[in-house]
Chains A and B, each alone.
Chain A
Amino acid sequence: MSAVAQTESALPMRRRSVTRRKAVDLLIKVLSWIGAWFGIAVMAFIVWEVVVRGAAALNWDFFTKSTPQDFTASAGAGMANAIVGTLVITGFAAAIGIPIGFLAGVYLAEFGRNGRLATSVRMIANVVMGVPSIIVGVFAFAIMVRPVGHYSGIAGAVALAFIMLPVMARTTEDILNLVPNELRESALAMGVPRWKVTLGVICKAARGGLITGATLAIVRVAGETAPLLFTALSSPYWLTGLFGPGGFFGGPTANLTKTIYDFAGSPYPYLQELAWGGALVIIIAVLGMNVLVRLVFQRGKKW
């Protein structure tokens, strides 16, 4: 009796009727289709809500006038100063984050490769990618705002650049790794210096992927709010230039996402309407760029 039990338990498979196995299989298949459609439906639902609610707010004023200083206003204001501010902040962030991140990626792919240092850098970059963006905002506040005693657009840009770095480094590395080694070898065999091989041959061959990676990194931070909450803050005014209290380095800088956060949380319907308009602008920019680079640089994916 015990011998039988032992044999039973040693057998990995239990006897199940074919009908039941097929039924379970079908159930799982149906569930996964439902799951996928549900995910897509949520995506479509969000876009739909933003488009329907945001479209009502988009008009000439929205793109030409600044955010209302009088919160009880019901017309005649826009988000133009915030849009400009977001573009400037994101531009500075890209100017800092893209070159450093790119070169870090070159280091990982071309120089460090599987060495101990490069492996650690890669691991840390992966970890930094998972650090919450609000923490980066706190960090930027501590090094850029607290010592000087005032908020500034550049503090926001530094926070966004910090978020961009590991993303840019890892995508650059992945893309450069796709370039066949023969190309490196043949260029080096021609007597071309290593740096020219990397920049002029490898990166040129991979430029589609690199542009896609950089664009996606920029777009990703352009929609960030948390890092700007206590760095760039927000402002009802236009940027007056780079320096001085109204400037990018000298004071709070209007930006779309923080303005949306403030307005969406306010009790005034007009401000909420402006917030939806801002959300629509962001979602068009973010999803539009995502789709665009995927379409345009599909060729770049051949390696």
Chain B
Amino acid sequence: MGTVDLDIRPGAEGPRGVAEATPRGRRGRFGDPIFRVLATACGLTVALGMFGLAAVLVYNSWPAITGLGTHVITTVAWSPTTGEYGALAALTGTFLSTLVAMVIAVPLALVIALLLVELVHPAVARVVGTAIEMLAAIPSIIFGMVGIFVIVPFMQDTFVPWVLSTPLGELPGIKPGETFQQGGVSIFTAGIVLAFMILPFITAVSRDVMAMVPQVTKEAGYGMGSTTWEVMHKISLRYANSGIVGAVFIGLGRALGETMAVAFLIGSVYDKLPTSLFDPGTSIASLIANTFSEATDEIQLSALIELGLILFLITVLFQIAAQFWLRRVQRSTGGRA
């Protein structure tokens, strides 16, 4: 639909039928090269778009790259009034919130993928799989809203006070630092919500990868008397391990760049390093989201775009790594499942 409607039956356009082939063929001589060039140009647009984006980011962040040097990534002060733009706190917050998210999401995604591939009937797997995939369809802003109105009060009133009352509360990294705000708005809360945002991506990729493992290999395992778990971790996971690495990298890339939910939940402490997971902080993406439109002077805007460039390079690196690992598993299993 929406494309050229062509009936290919001979004679469909009247009694002349096949006799029409010659003029049509001549038209085709012009149509084909044009169509081919057009399609190729669109293909190239997609590819060149990424290089264009990179070039634009480099050009616009040049004043900060030359003017501020390495200060942007090595210092902590973020103050438009003094003209200091050190985003080490944002880098730290990005790293820590992603770490929390990965620690929760990866094992969860792997057990769900195991369930979908090995344990249930394909029809059940489709329903459960779709439900999990729907998590990916929920916009980031809604995760942020539910996070700020529902999860934050719970963390603040119940979870964090409980953790801090146990002996764990004295451990470095958990013991509240000087910026502590009751633990509701914190790196930990942002990480938890992030975990459920990246869960569907890691689940879907690892499910597909596990499904690529040839059935005969698994049957051989069962034939030896292995249990489902033994087949999974000694055969499926070993066979698919480079694919699982790819899945993890895809989730990692998503978590690093996730913006809206994190902007709601991580707090907005730009100029202090967090010393605890329950401290508020900021991430690169949420720092950009919150301060970009108020950036008045040239160098601040440029510093923010430089941070964007850094985030871009990091995520591209993880995506390329993910593609590399996924291609490897595809080759070892002989292509698609």
Contact = CB atoms under 8 A, between A and B. Distances in A.
Interface of A: 21-22, 24-25, 28-29, 31-33, 35-36, 38-40, 42-43, 45-46, 49-50, 53, 99-104, 106-108, 110-112, 117-118, 120-121, 123-136, 138-139, 141-143, 146, 162, 165-166, 169, 187, 190-196, 198-201, 203-204, 207, 211, 219-220, 223-226, 229-230, 233, 257, 260-261, 264-265, 272, 275-276, 279, 282-283, 286-287, 290, 294
B168 interface: no
A25 B46 contact: no
B337 interface: no
B8 A201 contact: yes
Interface in B50-80: 50, 53, 56-57, 59-60
Contacts of A141: 292
26 contacts: A22-B227, A25-B228, A29-B228, A29-B229, A32-B111, A39-B112, A39-B131, A50-B145, A103-B39, A130-B318, A132-B312, A135-B311, A138-B57, A138-B288, A142-B60, A169-B46, A191-B21, A192-B8, A195-B34, A196-B31, A198-B35, A203-B3, A264-B141, A264-B149, A283-B138, A286-B138
B46 to A, nearest CB: 5
B38 interface: yes
A226 B260 contact: yes
Q: Chain A binding site: helix, strand, loop or mixed by DSSP?
A: helix
B130 A39 contact: no
B50 A127 contact: yes
Given A107-B42, A127-B50, A226-B289, A219 B111 contact: no
Given A39-B108, A229-B289, A264-B145, A195 B228 contact: no
Contact of B149 (A53, A131, A194): A53
Contacts of B47: 120-121, 124-125
Contact of A42 (B27, B196, B285): B196
Given A49-B150, A138-B288, A223 B141 contact: yes
A257 B141 CA distance: 7
B96 interface: no
Interface of B: 1-6, 8, 10, 21, 24-25, 27-29, 31-32, 34-36, 38-47, 49-50, 53, 56-57, 59-60, 108, 111-112, 114-116, 119, 128, 130-132, 134-135, 137-146, 148-150, 196, 199, 203, 227-230, 232, 250, 253-254, 256-260, 264, 285, 288-289, 292-293, 304-305, 308, 311-312, 315-316, 318-320, 322-323
Nearest to A194: B32
B49 A128 contact: yes
